[in-house]
Amino acid sequence: MSKRKPEVSLERRTFCAGSLSLATLGPLALAGCGGAGEGPASSAQSADGGRARAGGAAAPRVFAHPGLLHTEADFDRMRAKVAAGAQPWTNGWNALLNTGRSHLNNFPRPLVTVIRGGSGQNFAQLYIDVARAYQLAVRWKVSGDTAYADKAVQFLNAWSSTLTGITGNADRFLAAGIYGYEFANAAEIMRTYPGWAAADLARFQNMMLNVFYPLNHQFLVQHNDAHITNYWANWDQCALASILAIGVLCDREDLYDEAVTYYLSGAGNGAASQAVPHVHPGYLGQWQESSRDQGHCTLGVGLAAAFCEMAWNQGDDFYGHDNRRFLAGAEYVAKSNLADANGTLYYTSMPFDPYTNVHGTGWGISGAGLPFNRPVWEMIHNHYVNRLGLAAPYTTLMAAKLRAEGDGGNGDQLGVGTLTFTRDPVAAGANPSGLTANLVGGRVELSWWGGAHATSYNVLRAATPGGPYATIASGITDLLTHTDSGMAPGIYYYVVTAATPSGESAPSNEAALNTATALHTWLPFDEASGTAAPDASGNGRHAALVNGPVWTAGKRGNAIALDGVDDHVALPAGVAADLSDFTIAAWVYWNGGRNWERVFDFGSGTSHYMFLTPRAYRGGVRFAIATNGGVGEQTVGSSAPLPAGQWVHVAVTLSGATGTLYVNGAAVGTNTAMTHAPRRIGATSRNWIGRSQYPDPYFKGMVDDFRIYSGALSAEEIAALMAG
C-alpha cells in the first residue's frame, strides 16, 4: 500500500479494492496497492503500515490523541482563524455560540436506561446531552476558557456514573451506534484536559465498552436475526463509526480492526461496496438508500464521512478506498438534493441501476424528503477539495448551501462543521486522476476525477504507451466521462488533462485497454500430475488444484475430475476484476443428479459473486451475478439443465447489458438488462471451479479447456471455439 505524510505526523495507509481479507491475513496485514491519486508510494513499506516488528509480529498500534474527528492541529487552526476574524470560521464560531447547547447554564440529565423504539422512549435526553458535551468541549478548545471544559466533564461524568443499558426495539442499535460514536468524540477531546481525572476517564471508557460496544458488535454479527439486506446502510454505518471511535478512545486495536475489516469486506449494507453498490460513468456512485428517501441517504453519507475522517486522523485513508468510492457516493447524494440553474431537480434525470433487497426493487431515485439539508457536507468538501485539491462539484454546492453549519439538530450528527472542518483552499488543484477504461458494449468507457481549479477537461489517446497522444475530446465539464469508439481493434492508451487558470495541467495516470476480444485466462488442464494448473494465456493467472482433483483423459487432451465432495480448483484473487464485456467458456462433463453444483463461482462470499450452475432448483442451467446477494441476482439461463453423462461445451458472454448463455454452441438464454459486470463485484477473493460461495454441493464430473476472454465472443466465435 502507498503511504504519505499526513498533517499530524502519522504515516497514512491507503486501502484499495484488493485489500479485503483482513480477517484472513491478520490485523492490518494489507496487500500492496497502487493507482493514481493515492499519493506517492514508498519502496520500503511493510504490510502492516510501517509499524515496527519484533519476532515477526506487528508492534501494537499507538493511537494518536486527540484523534477522532479532530486533532490538536485542527484546534490550532480553529483558534487562529477565529482570533483573526477570518471567514467562514467566524460565522461557524458564532453558529456554535448560538446553538443553545454550548452554554454553561445547561445541566446533565443522565438515565440509568436509555430507551429508543417502542414504548417509554427517552433517548432524546441522551442525544441532547451528548451534543452539549461535544459542543462544550469544542468551545473550550477554541476559547481556552476552562469553565466550558469543566461543564463538559460534568456531562461526561454524570452519564458514565449512571448509564447501565440501552434498550427498546431494533432502534436501540441506532442509538448505540449514532450516540456511541458522538459520545466517544466528546470524550476524545476532553481526555487532554488536566481537570478530567484519570479515574473518571477510565469509568467513561468502561461505559463505552460495556454499554455501547456490545450492541454495535451484536448488530454487525447478527443484524437483529434478519436477512442481511433487511437493514439499510446507515444501520451498519453507525455501528462501524461507533466501534472505530470506541477503539481509539479506549486504545483497543482489536475494536478498531473489527470496524476496518467490516468496512472493507463485511456482508452488510454498510460495507464500502454495498453502501455504494453501483458506480455510474463519471463516478456518480449510486447510494444504497437512494430509492428509499433522501433523509436516510444524507444520514448514511454523514456517518460514512465520520468513519473516514476518524480513520484518516489515525493514518488510514478510507476516503481514497477503491478509487474514492465514497466520494462517488457523496457526489450522487449531493446531486440528488440539488437543482440546476433553472430550478430543475437533478434527481429526475440522474442514472439509476435497479436495486433489490428483501423490501423489494427500487427503480429510481426517491424524491421523498428532497431536498434534505443535513449539516454533514463541510467534512467531505474540505477533505477532497481543500485538503487534496480534487473536484467535488455537487458536494461543494451542498456545503455552500448549508454554510455555516450549526447545531446537529435531532442527534443524527454533531454539526458545527464549518468551524471544525473548514480548511484554506489549496493554491493549485490536483491533476486529473483515477482514470479508468472499461470495455462496455464494445466501446471504451472512460471516467476520471478532476481537479479543484479545473474549468474543463481533454481526453487524449495513443497507440503506444506514453504517447504520442492525440486529443479526441475537449471541453468536457460534467460528467467527467467520455466514450470512445470506431477504432480498429487493438490496444489503446488514454490520459486526461485539465484546462486551468494557469494553463493545461499535467496528464492523469495512463489507462490502457484492448478493444479486441482477447484471451484473458486459459486453463487447458493438460497436465498429468501435480496440483498446479498453469495459465496458458501468458497472463500469469495460474490456478491450483485443491483437495485432490484427479488428472484424467478429457475432451481435448487431459482434464480434471472432481469428486463432488470437496475437490475444486482455485483461481487467483481478483481474476475477473478488470472485466466488463467478457466470455467464460469450458468443456464440462457433469455426472448430474444435484441442484446448485457449480461449474465456476467467483466471489467474496454470499454478497458479491457470479456463478454457472448445471441445474438451478426446479430449473435449468443458469448464470447469475450479484452485488448484494441472492435477492439482487441478475441471471440468464435455460429451462433445461445441462445434459449429464456427456461432454458439453458451455459459454456465457456479456456485451454491454446483454448476457447470453450457450450450450453446445447454441444460445439457450438471453438477458438484455444485465448491469452487474464482473468488475462491479470487485476484486473477488474466492474464485473457484467446482465449488460454491454457498454451502451447495461441489461439482461432480470433469472440466476441460476453461477459458476467460476480455470481450464478448459472437455466436460464430463460440461455435468456432467449440469446433476448434
| CATH number of the domain where residue 596 is located | 2.60.120.200
Minimal CA–CA distance to 568: which of 543, 540, 595?
543
Per the domain annotation, does 571 fall within a domain? yes
Residue 426 lies in a domain: no
In the chain, the amino acid numbered 55 is: G
Q: What is the pLDDT of residue 645?
A: 97
Residue 458 cell numbers, joined? 481533454
How many domains are there within the chain?
Answer: 3
Backbone phi and psi for residue 508, each to the nearest 5 degrees, phi listed first? -70, 180
* Residue 721, all three cell numbers: 471455439
Does 192 fall in a domain? yes
Same-domain status, 401 and 254: yes
In this structure, is residue 17 part of a structural domain? no
H helix intervals, 507-552? none
Mind listing the pLDDT tens digit for each residue in 36-61?
A: 333 322 222 222 333 333 345 678 89
Give the strand pairing for 316-317 and 12-14: parallel
Estimate the crossing angle of helix 146-160 against helix 198-207, to 10 degrees: 50
Query: Which pLDDT belongs to residue 57?
Result: 62
Instruction: Name, in order, each residue with C-beta under 8 angstroms of 511's C-beta and a sequence gap of 6 or more.
Output: 435, 436, 437, 446, 493, 494, 495
Cβ(325)–Cβ(307) below 8 Å? no
Cα–Cα distance between 24 and 505 in angstroms, integer? 42
Q: Give the angle 425-383-404 at the CA atoms, nearest 5°.
A: 70
User: How many residues does this entry show for the chain?
Assistant: 724
In a domain, 497, yes or no: yes
Does residue 399 sit in the same domain as residue 487?
no
Do residue 295 and residue 387 come from a single domain? Answer: yes
Q: What is the CATH number of the domain that holds 329?
A: 1.50.10.100
For residue 56, the model assigns a pLDDT of 54
- 3-class SS of residue 661: strand
Which contiguous run of DSSP H or E holds residue 719? helix 715-723
275 and 307 Cβ atoms separated by less than 8 Å: no
Residues 3 and 42 sit within 8 Å (Cβ to Cβ) = yes
d(C-alpha 291, C-alpha 288), whole Å? 8
CATH number at residue 488: 2.60.40.10
Query: Same domain, yes or no, for 392 and 462?
Result: no
Given this model, what pLDDT does residue 468 score?
Answer: 97
Residues 662 and 556 reside in one and the same domain: yes
Residues 623 and 495 in one domain: no
Grid coordinates in use for 603? 466471489
Residue with cell 448484494: 628
Domain-ending residue, one of 421, 451, 468 = 421
- Residue 689, domain member (yes or no): yes
* Residue 532 and residue 646 in one domain: yes
The beta strands (E) that lie in 524-646 are given as 532-533, 543-546, 550-553, 558-563, 568-571, 582-590, 600-603, 609-613, 622-626, 634-637
Q: Which of 443, 477, 512 lies at the terminal end of a domain, its last residue?
A: 512
Which residues contact residue 509 at a Cβ distance below 8 angstroms, ignoring those fewer than 6 apart?
35, 36, 37, 433, 434, 435, 495
Instruction: Look at the block and give the residue holding cell 455555516.
Output: 404
Domain assignment present for 702:
yes
Distances, alpha carbon 645 to alpha carbons 401, 587, 588, 642, 699, in Å: 67, 13, 10, 10, 13
328 in the same domain as 250:
yes
Buried residues in 635-664 as b, exposed as e (16+ CB within 10 A) = bbbbeebbbeeebbbbbbbbbbebbbbbbb
* pLDDT the model gives residue 724: 82
Q: Which residues of the chain have pLDDT under 70?
A: 1-57
Own/partner pairs for 536-544, CB < 8 Å, 24+ apart?
Answer: 541/571, 541/572, 541/575, 542/572, 543/569, 543/570, 543/571, 543/572, 543/689, 544/569, 544/570
- Please tell me the predicted confidence (pLDDT) of residue 36: 31
> What residue numbers bound the domain in which 619 lies?
518-723
Last residue of a domain, one of 421, 452, 486: 421
Asked if residue 532 and residue 497 are part of one domain, the reply reads: no
Q: Are residues 706 and 628 in the same domain?
A: yes
Output the 3-class SS for 168-236: CCCHHHHHHHHHHHHHHHHHHHHCCCCCCCHHHHHHHHHHHHHHHHHHHHHHHHHHHHCCCCCCCHHHH
Quick one: 382 and 496 in the same domain?
Answer: no
Beta bridge partners of 702: 561, 589
Q: Is the CB of residue 502 less than 8 Å from the CB of residue 511?
A: no
Evaluate whether residue 250 is within a structural domain.
yes
Residues 442 and 318 in one domain: no
E strands in 477-567: 481-484, 491-500, 503-504, 511-514, 518-523, 532-533, 543-546, 550-553, 558-563
Task: Give, in order, the Cα–Cα distances in Å from 472 to each of 441, 461, 476, 641.
Answer: 20, 7, 11, 48
DSSP codes, 70-104: --HHHHHHHHHHHHTT-TTHHHHHHHHHTSSSSST
Rounded to whole angstroms, the Cα distance separating 618 from 149 reads: 67
The answer to whether 224 and 173 have CB atoms below 8 angstroms apart is yes
Taking the C-alpha atoms of residue 68 and residue 309, their distance in angstroms, rounded to an integer, is 7
